[in-house]
Amino acid sequence: MRKRIIAGNWKMYKTSIEAADFADKIKDRIKTSEHVEAVICPPAIYLGDLMQRFETSAVKVGAQTMHDTDEGAFTGEVSPAMLEDLGVQYVIIGHSERRQYFNETDETVNKKVHAAFQHHLVPMICVGETLEQRESMETVSVVSEQVEKAFADLSADLAKQAVIAYEPIWAIGTGKTATAEDANEVCGAIRHKIETIYSKDVADAVRIQYGGSVKPENIEELLSKEHIDGALVGGASLDPEAFIKLAEAGTHVE
Ligand code: 13P
Protein backbone atom coordinates (compact mmCIF):
# COMPACT_ATOMS: atom_id res chain seq x y z
CA MET A 1 0.00 0.00 0.00
CA ARG A 2 1.23 3.50 -0.80
CA LYS A 3 1.77 5.69 2.23
CA ARG A 4 -0.82 8.41 2.29
CA ILE A 5 0.27 12.02 2.41
CA ILE A 6 -1.95 14.75 3.82
CA ALA A 7 -0.36 18.14 3.28
CA GLY A 8 -1.50 21.60 4.33
CA ASN A 9 -0.58 24.46 2.01
CA TRP A 10 -1.01 27.60 4.05
CA LYS A 11 -0.34 29.87 1.07
CA MET A 12 0.24 33.47 2.24
CA TYR A 13 -1.63 33.24 5.52
CA LYS A 14 -0.85 33.50 9.26
CA THR A 15 1.28 35.78 11.41
CA SER A 16 4.26 34.33 13.26
CA ILE A 17 2.22 34.00 16.44
CA GLU A 18 -0.61 32.25 14.63
CA ALA A 19 1.85 29.88 12.95
CA ALA A 20 3.51 29.02 16.28
CA ASP A 21 0.16 28.56 17.97
CA PHE A 22 -1.03 26.19 15.23
CA ALA A 23 2.17 24.14 15.47
CA ASP A 24 1.96 23.87 19.25
CA LYS A 25 -1.68 22.76 19.04
CA ILE A 26 -1.08 19.91 16.60
CA LYS A 27 2.45 18.74 17.28
CA ASP A 28 1.61 16.07 19.87
CA ARG A 29 -1.74 15.13 18.45
CA ILE A 30 -0.63 13.87 15.05
CA LYS A 31 0.68 10.37 15.50
CA THR A 32 3.37 8.66 13.48
CA SER A 33 1.93 5.94 11.34
CA GLU A 34 3.15 3.49 8.75
CA HIS A 35 0.22 4.42 6.55
CA VAL A 36 0.02 8.18 6.54
CA GLU A 37 2.23 11.21 6.82
CA ALA A 38 1.22 14.77 7.60
CA VAL A 39 3.06 17.77 6.18
CA ILE A 40 2.63 21.49 6.81
CA CYS A 41 3.83 23.92 4.14
CA PRO A 42 3.96 27.37 5.75
CA PRO A 43 5.21 30.61 4.20
CA ALA A 44 9.01 30.35 3.88
CA ILE A 45 9.59 32.86 6.66
CA TYR A 46 8.21 30.37 9.22
CA LEU A 47 10.01 27.24 7.97
CA GLY A 48 12.83 27.43 10.53
CA ASP A 49 10.51 28.00 13.46
CA LEU A 50 8.18 25.17 12.44
CA MET A 51 11.12 22.77 11.90
CA GLN A 52 12.04 23.38 15.52
CA ARG A 53 8.51 23.13 16.86
CA PHE A 54 7.93 19.85 15.00
CA GLU A 55 11.31 18.41 15.90
CA THR A 56 9.85 15.72 18.16
CA SER A 57 6.56 15.52 16.32
CA ALA A 58 5.37 13.24 13.50
CA VAL A 59 4.50 16.33 11.46
CA LYS A 60 6.84 17.07 8.57
CA VAL A 61 7.54 20.43 7.01
CA GLY A 62 7.44 21.45 3.36
CA ALA A 63 8.10 24.63 1.42
CA GLN A 64 5.55 26.16 -0.94
CA THR A 65 8.06 26.86 -3.71
CA MET A 66 11.78 27.39 -4.29
CA HIS A 67 14.26 28.54 -6.93
CA ASP A 68 16.00 25.92 -9.06
CA THR A 69 19.59 26.91 -8.32
CA ASP A 70 21.66 26.64 -5.14
CA GLU A 71 22.54 30.30 -4.79
CA GLY A 72 22.77 33.50 -6.78
CA ALA A 73 21.59 37.04 -7.29
CA PHE A 74 17.86 36.27 -7.22
CA THR A 75 16.39 38.80 -4.83
CA GLY A 76 13.63 37.39 -2.70
CA GLU A 77 14.08 33.74 -3.66
CA VAL A 78 14.75 30.72 -1.47
CA SER A 79 17.07 28.00 -2.76
CA PRO A 80 16.80 24.23 -2.53
CA ALA A 81 20.15 24.18 -0.70
CA MET A 82 18.67 26.47 1.97
CA LEU A 83 15.66 24.21 2.39
CA GLU A 84 17.89 21.15 2.70
CA ASP A 85 20.03 22.95 5.24
CA LEU A 86 16.98 23.60 7.43
CA GLY A 87 15.96 19.95 7.22
CA VAL A 88 12.81 20.60 5.21
CA GLN A 89 11.61 17.38 3.56
CA TYR A 90 9.03 18.43 0.99
CA VAL A 91 8.51 21.22 -1.49
CA ILE A 92 5.43 22.09 -3.53
CA ILE A 93 6.43 22.66 -7.14
CA GLY A 94 4.37 24.34 -9.85
CA HIS A 95 1.27 25.17 -7.85
CA SER A 96 -1.31 26.68 -10.21
CA GLU A 97 -1.03 30.01 -8.35
CA ARG A 98 2.71 30.03 -9.09
CA ARG A 99 1.99 29.19 -12.71
CA GLN A 100 -0.68 31.87 -12.94
CA TYR A 101 0.90 34.76 -11.03
CA PHE A 102 4.65 34.07 -11.04
CA ASN A 103 5.31 32.88 -14.58
CA GLU A 104 6.13 29.30 -13.70
CA THR A 105 6.03 27.03 -16.71
CA ASP A 106 6.32 23.31 -17.33
CA GLU A 107 10.01 23.94 -18.06
CA THR A 108 10.73 25.72 -14.77
CA VAL A 109 8.73 23.04 -12.98
CA ASN A 110 10.98 20.37 -14.51
CA LYS A 111 14.13 22.23 -13.44
CA LYS A 112 12.81 22.58 -9.92
CA VAL A 113 11.87 18.89 -9.72
CA HIS A 114 15.47 17.96 -10.59
CA ALA A 115 16.83 20.54 -8.15
CA ALA A 116 14.57 19.25 -5.36
CA PHE A 117 15.85 15.69 -5.71
CA GLN A 118 19.45 16.89 -5.81
CA HIS A 119 18.80 18.36 -2.38
CA HIS A 120 16.91 15.38 -0.97
CA LEU A 121 13.61 17.21 -1.03
CA VAL A 122 10.51 15.36 -2.18
CA PRO A 123 8.63 17.45 -4.74
CA MET A 124 4.86 17.63 -4.62
CA ILE A 125 4.31 18.42 -8.28
CA CYS A 126 1.05 20.22 -9.01
CA VAL A 127 -0.94 19.68 -12.19
CA GLY A 128 -4.49 20.60 -13.06
CA GLU A 129 -6.83 21.96 -15.70
CA THR A 130 -8.81 25.19 -15.94
CA LEU A 131 -12.60 25.18 -16.06
CA GLU A 132 -12.48 25.96 -19.75
CA GLN A 133 -10.19 23.01 -20.42
CA ARG A 134 -12.44 20.73 -18.39
CA GLU A 135 -15.52 21.87 -20.27
CA SER A 136 -13.84 21.20 -23.57
CA MET A 137 -12.88 17.70 -22.39
CA GLU A 138 -9.16 18.43 -22.37
CA THR A 139 -8.49 17.50 -18.74
CA VAL A 140 -6.62 14.27 -19.34
CA SER A 141 -4.52 15.64 -22.19
CA VAL A 142 -3.64 18.79 -20.21
CA VAL A 143 -2.57 16.99 -17.05
CA SER A 144 -0.77 14.25 -19.00
CA GLU A 145 1.30 16.84 -20.79
CA GLN A 146 2.09 18.64 -17.53
CA VAL A 147 3.20 15.33 -16.02
CA GLU A 148 5.32 14.42 -19.01
CA LYS A 149 7.12 17.76 -18.95
CA ALA A 150 7.56 17.81 -15.17
CA PHE A 151 9.20 14.37 -15.24
CA ALA A 152 11.43 15.00 -18.29
CA ASP A 153 14.86 13.36 -17.89
CA LEU A 154 14.08 12.13 -14.38
CA SER A 155 15.28 8.61 -13.54
CA ALA A 156 12.78 5.92 -12.60
CA ASP A 157 14.32 5.68 -9.13
CA LEU A 158 13.63 9.34 -8.44
CA ALA A 159 10.26 9.35 -10.21
CA LYS A 160 9.06 6.67 -7.80
CA GLN A 161 9.65 8.96 -4.86
CA ALA A 162 7.78 11.94 -6.32
CA VAL A 163 4.36 13.07 -5.20
CA ILE A 164 1.92 14.47 -7.76
CA ALA A 165 -0.90 16.76 -6.67
CA TYR A 166 -3.86 16.83 -9.00
CA GLU A 167 -5.50 20.18 -8.35
CA PRO A 168 -8.21 21.21 -10.81
CA ILE A 169 -7.86 24.98 -10.89
CA TRP A 170 -11.61 25.56 -10.80
CA ALA A 171 -11.83 23.66 -7.50
CA ILE A 172 -9.17 25.69 -5.65
CA GLY A 173 -10.57 27.97 -2.98
CA THR A 174 -13.99 27.91 -4.60
CA GLY A 175 -15.76 25.42 -2.38
CA LYS A 176 -16.32 23.32 -5.51
CA THR A 177 -14.72 19.90 -5.22
CA ALA A 178 -14.34 17.49 -8.09
CA THR A 179 -16.52 14.48 -7.34
CA ALA A 180 -14.49 11.67 -5.85
CA GLU A 181 -15.18 9.66 -9.02
CA ASP A 182 -13.93 12.43 -11.32
CA ALA A 183 -10.87 13.07 -9.17
CA ASN A 184 -10.08 9.35 -9.12
CA GLU A 185 -10.48 9.09 -12.87
CA VAL A 186 -7.97 11.89 -13.49
CA CYS A 187 -5.56 10.52 -10.85
CA GLY A 188 -5.86 7.14 -12.60
CA ALA A 189 -5.02 8.80 -15.93
CA ILE A 190 -1.98 10.42 -14.31
CA ARG A 191 -0.85 7.04 -12.98
CA HIS A 192 -1.31 5.57 -16.43
CA LYS A 193 0.82 8.35 -17.90
CA ILE A 194 3.59 7.54 -15.42
CA GLU A 195 3.33 3.90 -16.46
CA THR A 196 3.76 4.79 -20.13
CA ILE A 197 6.79 6.99 -19.36
CA TYR A 198 8.39 4.52 -16.93
CA SER A 199 6.82 1.22 -15.89
CA LYS A 200 4.02 -0.27 -13.83
CA ASP A 201 6.41 -0.53 -10.94
CA VAL A 202 7.00 3.25 -10.93
CA ALA A 203 3.30 4.00 -11.50
CA ASP A 204 2.36 1.81 -8.54
CA ALA A 205 4.83 3.64 -6.30
CA VAL A 206 4.08 7.26 -7.17
CA ARG A 207 1.74 8.95 -4.73
CA ILE A 208 -1.02 11.12 -6.13
CA GLN A 209 -2.86 13.67 -4.00
CA TYR A 210 -6.07 15.42 -4.83
CA GLY A 211 -6.37 19.13 -4.00
CA GLY A 212 -9.21 21.63 -4.34
CA SER A 213 -11.63 22.46 -1.51
CA VAL A 214 -10.73 19.37 0.52
CA LYS A 215 -12.15 19.49 4.04
CA PRO A 216 -12.88 17.06 6.86
CA GLU A 217 -16.37 16.48 5.43
CA ASN A 218 -15.21 15.24 2.03
CA ILE A 219 -11.74 13.77 2.56
CA GLU A 220 -12.87 10.28 3.49
CA GLU A 221 -14.71 9.73 0.25
CA LEU A 222 -11.76 11.04 -1.76
CA LEU A 223 -9.30 8.80 0.10
CA SER A 224 -11.48 5.75 -0.40
CA LYS A 225 -10.69 5.87 -4.12
CA GLU A 226 -8.08 3.63 -5.67
CA HIS A 227 -5.80 6.27 -7.16
CA ILE A 228 -6.07 9.01 -4.51
CA ASP A 229 -3.24 8.68 -2.00
CA GLY A 230 -3.69 11.88 -0.09
CA ALA A 231 -4.69 15.49 -0.22
CA LEU A 232 -3.11 18.90 -0.67
CA VAL A 233 -5.30 21.19 1.37
CA GLY A 234 -5.41 24.97 1.35
CA GLY A 235 -8.13 26.74 3.33
CA ALA A 236 -9.06 23.89 5.68
CA SER A 237 -5.43 23.35 6.67
CA LEU A 238 -5.33 26.73 8.40
CA ASP A 239 -7.44 25.47 11.26
CA PRO A 240 -5.59 23.11 13.64
CA GLU A 241 -8.65 21.04 14.53
CA ALA A 242 -9.57 20.62 10.87
CA PHE A 243 -6.02 19.63 9.97
CA ILE A 244 -5.96 17.01 12.74
CA LYS A 245 -9.21 15.55 11.36
CA LEU A 246 -7.80 15.52 7.84
CA ALA A 247 -4.66 13.69 8.97
CA GLU A 248 -6.73 11.24 11.02
CA ALA A 249 -8.90 10.46 8.01
CA GLY A 250 -5.70 9.23 6.35
CA THR A 251 -5.27 6.62 9.05
CA HIS A 252 -8.76 5.21 9.15
CA VAL A 253 -10.08 5.15 5.59
CA GLU A 254 -9.56 1.67 4.08
P1 13P B 1 -8.20 24.98 -1.14
O2 13P B 1 -8.15 23.73 -0.30
O3 13P B 1 -8.31 26.24 -0.35
O4 13P B 1 -9.21 24.86 -2.25
O5 13P B 1 -6.76 25.10 -1.87
C6 13P B 1 -6.28 24.00 -2.55
C7 13P B 1 -4.87 24.24 -2.89
O8 13P B 1 -4.55 25.07 -3.73
C9 13P B 1 -3.84 23.51 -2.14
O10 13P B 1 -2.59 23.65 -2.72
List, by residue number, the catalytic residues. Answer: 95, 167
Separation between Cα atoms, residue 41 and residue 25, nearest integer Å: 16
- pLDDT value for 250: 86
Res 174 pLDDT > 90: no
Q: Please give the number of the atom of ligand 1 that sits closest to the Cα of 95.
A: 10
* pLDDT tens digits, one per residue of 119-163: 999 999 999 999 999 999 999 999 999 999 999 999 999 999 999
Ligand 1 binding site (Cβ under 6 Å of any ligand atom): 9, 95, 167, 172-173, 211-214, 232-236
Radius of gyration in angstroms for the set of CA atoms belonging to the chain, rounded to a whole number: 17
Reference 61, options 99, 23, 35; nearest CA is 23
How many angstroms separate the alpha carbon of residue 73 from the centre of ligand 1? 31
To test the ligand 1 pocket, which listed residue (99, 174, 214, 219) has its Cβ within 8 A of the most ligand atoms? 214
Q: What's the predicted TM-score (pTM) here?
A: 0.97
Ligand 1 midpoint to CA 72 (Å): 31
Measured from the Cα of 126, ligand 1's closest atom is 10
